[in-house]
Amino acid sequence: MRLSQLFNLTLREAPADAEVASHQLLVRAGFIRQLAAGIFTIMPIGRISLTKIENIIREEINAIGGQEMSMPVVHPADIWKETQRWYQIGSEMGRFKDKNNRDMVLAMTHEEVVADIVRKDIRSYRQLPRLIYHIQTKWRDDPRPRAGLIRVREFTMKDSYTLDTDWEGLDRQYRNHYQAYFNIFHRCDLPVIAVKSDVGMMGGKMAHEYMYLTPIGEDTLILCDHCGYSANRQIALFKKTAPPVEDPLPVEKVATPQAKTIESLANFLNIPESKTAKAVFMVATIPNGDEEQDVFIFAVVRGDMEMNETKLANTLKAKELRPATEEEIIAVGAVPGYASPVGLKDIMVVVDDLIPQSPNLVAGANEEGYHLLNTNYGRDYQADLIADITAAQEGDGCIRCGSPIRSARGVEVGNIFKLGTRYSDAMGCTYLDKDGVEKPVIMGSYGIGSGRLMACIVEEHHDENGIIWPITVAPYQVHLVSLGTQTNPQIQAAADRLYDELIEAGFEVLYDDREESPGVKFMDADLIGNPIRITISERTLRNDSVELKRRDQSEKRLVRLEDLSGVISSEIKLLTEQIKGKVVEVPFEG
């Protein structure tokens, strides 16, 4: 491709709202253009890299038995109502009515569509197992799109679905995907780890997320360097150390002026925060058949811990969870900053499972400026639910080995789910086994966002001058730059001839044939980031040579024209082999 003909414009400055490197560089290099918040056009040069990424995905999924298909972006709402997700998913779902006033859905994912196909087409165990997938547009109306392609509303995802007769079959397909996903990311030269995660709106029995560790990530991961335990903080377990046993002491009301926070309360009373009970007020939207209701939740955790909203939402089976307003808190008889469940009625109380083991805690008196000493669960108040609702923190004990855990930030680039019979039961997906007995199809679901993956590759591979594409996903292998063509027609002719020869030799070449200065051409070559730069000029031609520079290195060298094809082939092979060496078997962390 001649750069003069490419539908592409490089920019010297990034958009003001582009905060992360991948967003800045993909816009500046002409790979993407923003249409609206969280909605992007993939430009021609970006489409080339994205296609290479998606072809790597295809190859790895095909290698474990995948069959590619294409499912619709627009779904009738009826199938989402059958699984209850129409009622369980909030405003992120794109809902609209067609001209016949029927409820319709913009695809967030395709479990319902797959289940509808299965119940129509699968009859016998002889038709199983199967693995189907597609690479398709999705819509999730994220309220906070950010970071370019990393958090968007419209995106492209590979989602695959496994269909099995038993749980053992699902285990095999799940593990096949587990390794295939590592192969995909490693072939894209992106380091990732797999962590256990919340099943979320997907439902099911087990889930893993593939995380690219980076400070720009919105997910917090809990990791143990000693035993390898890893999990998203949303669901991470940790060892909770029960406090020493104490006899319950009498409740005593004390004045605590201006002590509205746990920190100020502990300082005022000269006690550790672990001797306090923290009140957290939430409103949960809980489905009830076709209806839903908002329920005020009074959650209690120990003062030295943080409440985990995901754990609380899962405990309540809540569709949505939000902080309660001050008016809502006052309406139930509690006083913000001085609240406890003691003496309150007709509210739902959820306590962390460490609270019943923690005697004589200081809690609010539900009166401005006062707290209660020595409150004890069971004697002074009861809960509707007792569950693990606290978040793991750096330094807590690992749930497996007890060693101190650490936290890290990450971006989720893929996920896999054991759905089990969640959708089969809801939509009547059954088959007849060898004995003619009707049984539910066992399902799995597996996703990778290709645009987010491309952005993360750029986050991992760039410098102050631009992108440094891995050879496997670079838009072009070679960036050919011609210098001095305006004043010397011989250089232009030689450059054109070299371009044709490289194309004929089978190389992917982007040829900068524009009438621009050397500085502009070199800056754009670094910005776009193709792996190998070839420069032809009057100086090089005097030596029957060109200048070769790899994007990931600072060294430049002259290569004779007669040797160029072989040298480029060797460089491409070397870069490719380096990436191949990273594709290794990864132990399954179940």
CATH number assigned to the domain comprising residue 510 = 3.40.50.800
Report yes or no: 169 and 130 within 8 Å, Cβ to Cβ: no
In a domain, residue 470? The reply is: no
- Taking the CB of residue 250, how many other CB atoms lie within 10 A of it? 7
Question: pTM for the whole thing?
Answer: 0.87
Report DSSP letters for 342-408, one per residue.
TT--SSEEEEETTGGG--SEEEEEEETTEEEEEE-BTTTB--SEEE--B---TTPEETTT-PBPEEE
Tokens encoding 346:
């007709």
Tokens at 448, concatenated: 């990778």
Share of the chain above pLDDT 90, in %: 88
Mean pLDDT rounded to a whole number for the chain: 94
3-class SS of residue 546: strand
Q: Which CATH number covers residue 64?
A: 3.30.930.10
Judge whether 207 and 196 are in contact, CB under 8 Å.
Answer: yes
Same domain, 348 and 495: no
Q: Are residues 270 and 204 in the same domain?
A: no
Within a domain: 11:
no
In the prediction, which pLDDT does 207 show? 87
Confidence of residue 371 (pLDDT cuts 50, 70, 90): very high
Angle between helices 44-63 and 167-187 (to 10 degrees): 140
Burial of 13 (0-12, 13-18, 19+ CB in 10 A): exposed
Flag whether pLDDT at 369 surpasses 80.
yes
DSSP string across 217-268: -SEEEEE-TTT--EEETTT--EEPPPPPP-PPPPPEEEE-TT--SHHHHHHH
Each residue of 565-575: pLDDT tens digit?
A: 999 999 999 99
| Span 529-544, pLDDT tens digits | 999 999 999 999 999 9
Q: Establish if 12 belongs to a structural domain.
A: no
If you average pLDDT over residues 132-146, what whole number do you get? 94
pLDDT at site 200: 65
- Asked whether residue 185 falls in the same domain as residue 44, the answer is yes
d(CA 472, CA 48): 11
* Residue 93 token pair: 């779902």
Considering the domain boundaries, does residue 585 fall inside one? no
Measured distance CA(110)–CA(543) in Å, rounded: 60
What residues contact 362, with CB distance under 8 A and at least 6 apart?
265, 269, 271, 275, 276, 277, 303, 371, 372, 373, 374, 375
Q: Where residue 447 falls among pLDDT bands split at 50, 70, 90? A: very high
**What length is written for the chain?**
590
- Please tell me the distance from the alpha carbon of residue 535 to that of residue 578, in angstroms, as a whole number: 25
Lowest mean pLDDT among 75-84, 221-230, 438-447, 544-553: 221-230
pLDDT for the residue numbered 201: 56
Do residues 311 and 194 share a domain? no
| Domain co-membership, 511 together with 557 | yes
Residue 274 and residue 232 share a domain: no
What CATH number did the domain enclosing 268 receive? Answer: 3.90.960.10
- In this prediction, residues 9-31 reach a mean pLDDT of 94
pLDDT tens-digit readout, 381-414: 999 999 999 999 999 999 999 999 999 999 999 9
Same structural domain, 111 and 187: yes
Do residues 58 and 152 both lie within one domain?
Answer: yes
Q: Do residues 531 and 469 touch, judged by C-beta distance below 8 A? A: yes
Q: Are strands 291-302 and 348-352 parallel, antiparallel or unpaired?
A: parallel
Is there a contact between 170 and 57 (Cβ–Cβ < 8 Å)? Answer: no
Please tell me the distance from the alpha carbon of residue 451 to that of residue 460, in angstroms, as a whole number.
Answer: 14
Q: What is the mean pLDDT of residues 13-34?
A: 94
- Kindly report the backbone phi and psi dihedral angles of residue 556, in degrees, each rounded to the nearest multiple of 5, phi listed first: -125, 150
User: For position 212, what pLDDT does the model report?
Assistant: 96
Kindly state whether residues 193 and 311 are assigned to the same domain: no
Q: Please check whether residues 221 and 106 belong to one and the same domain.
A: yes
% of the chain residues with pLDDT over 70: 99
Query: What does the alpha-carbon distance between residue 68 and residue 169 come to, in Å, rounded to a whole number?
Result: 20
**Does any domain span residue 90?**
yes
Distance of CA 46 to the CA centre of its chain: 21
pLDDT at 17 (0 to 100): 87
Domain assignment present for residue 91? The answer is yes
Higher pLDDT, 429 or 486: 429
Residues 88 and 231 in one domain: yes
Strand 442-449 to strand 406-420: parallel, antiparallel, or no bridges (unpaired)?
A: antiparallel
* Residue 235: band (very low, low, confident or very high) from pLDDT cuts 50, 70, 90: confident
| 129 in the same domain as 272 | no
- pLDDT of 202 > 70? The answer is no
Can you give the C-alpha Rg of the chain in angstroms? 29
Q: Which residue has the higher pLDDT, 74 or 291?
A: 74
**What residues form DSSP beta bridges with 74?**
106
pLDDT reading at 417 higher than 60: yes
Distance CA 2, CA 534 (A): 14
Q: DSSP assignment, residue 325?
A: P
Query: What mean pLDDT comes out for the span 555-576?
Result: 97
Give a yes or no: residue 76 inside a domain: yes
> Is residue 242 a contact partner of residue 269, using CB atoms and an 8 Å limit?
no
Tokens of 304: 């030295």
pLDDT of 203 reads 59
Q: Domain residues for 546?
A: 476-580
What does the pLDDT average to over 237-265? 93
Q: Is residue 309 part of a domain?
A: yes
Distances (CA, A) of 41 to 45, 103, 529: 11, 28, 20
Q: Which tokens belong to 128?
A: 């199983």
Give the span between the Cα atoms of 467 and 456, in whole angstroms. 11
Q: Say how many domains are in the chain.
A: 3
What gap in Å lies between CA 420 and CA 86, rounded to an integer? 20
* Cβ neighbours for 561, distance < 8 A, ≥ 6 positions apart: 498, 544, 545, 546
Instruction: Give the pLDDT confidence of 81-135 residue by residue, as tens digits.
Output: 999 899 888 889 999 999 999 999 999 999 999 999 999 999 999 999 999 999 9
Q: What is the DSSP string of 461-525?
A: SEETTEE---TTT-S-SEEEEE-STTT-HHHHHHHHHHHHHHHHTT--EEEE-SS--HHHHHHHH
Answer for the pair 412, 447: CB distance below 8 angstroms, yes or no. no
DSSP 8-state secondary structure symbol assigned to residue 28: H
